[in-house]
Structure 1
Amino acid sequence: MTSIVRDETIRSGEPRVEGTRIAVRDIKRRVIDAEEDPHVVAGEYGISMADLFGALAHYYEHRDAFEDDEREAERMRRDGERRTRKLVDELRGENAGSTEDAA
């Protein structure tokens, strides 16, 4: 039987297939999101089909939590991009001013 475990010292506590570093999210992204063949994914990860489908079952049992995590990660990514864009714009403004001062 497939066991899905969490350990804060492995993969930052992501739910994963016991005895591996393969996270449930890794399997979900490949099989569900990318529509890859489950047999190929299991073979590449070196896990059984039972482990793969156990991970997918875990995903579906906790789908709301996974989706909340993905939304939060996307929000954080957008915020980081916005802050980076602002910083780059500020730096470009400073550089433009120093170029004008040099002339």
Structure 2
Amino acid sequence: MTSIVRDESIRSGEPRLEGTRITVRDIKRRVIDAEEDPHVVAGEYGISMAECFGALAHYYEHRDAFEDAERAAERTRRDGERQTRKLVDERRGETAESTEDAAES
């Protein structure tokens, strides 16, 4: 039986295969999202097919929670990009003003 565990000090508490740093999300992204062969994914991670499919089963059993977390992460990413864009634009404005002030001197 595949054991899925959480530990806040490992991979930010993401559900993962016990005894590894391989998260359920790692396997889901490759097998489901990227449509990679589960046998290849298991081989590359050095895990059994039972562990690979156990992780996928865990994902499907908790799909709503995973999707909610992915949506929240996407919102956080977009907010960070907006804040960065705003800071860059503000800096560009300061640089343009500094250049204009230097030209007037």
- TM above 0.5, yes or no, is yes
Runs ≥4 residues deviating over 2 A: none
Q: RMSD in angstroms over aligned alpha carbons?
A: 0.4
Write the mapping of 1:17-36 to structure 2, written as runs, cut at 5 A: 17-36=17-36
Q: 1:97, 1:9 → 2: CA distance? A: 46
1:58 aligns with 2:42: no
Runs of at least 5 residues in structure 2 that lack an aligned partner in the other structure: none
Give 2:51's aligned amino acid. D
Give 2:73's aligned amino acid. A
Deviations 1:69-93 (A, max 9, x none): 0000000000000000000000000
Deviations 1:15-63 (A, max 9, x none): 0011110000000000000000000000000000000000000000000
Number of residues of Structure 1 aligned to a counterpart in Structure 2: 103
Give 2:63's aligned amino acid. R
Output the TM-score relative to the length of structure 2.
0.97
Q: 2:67, 2:85 → 1: CA distance? A: 27
Give 1:61's aligned amino acid. E
Tell me the SS of whatever aligns to 1:100.
helix
Output the TM-score relative to the length of structure 1.
0.99
Write the mapping of 1:69-88 to structure 2, written as runs, cut at 5 A: 69-88=69-88
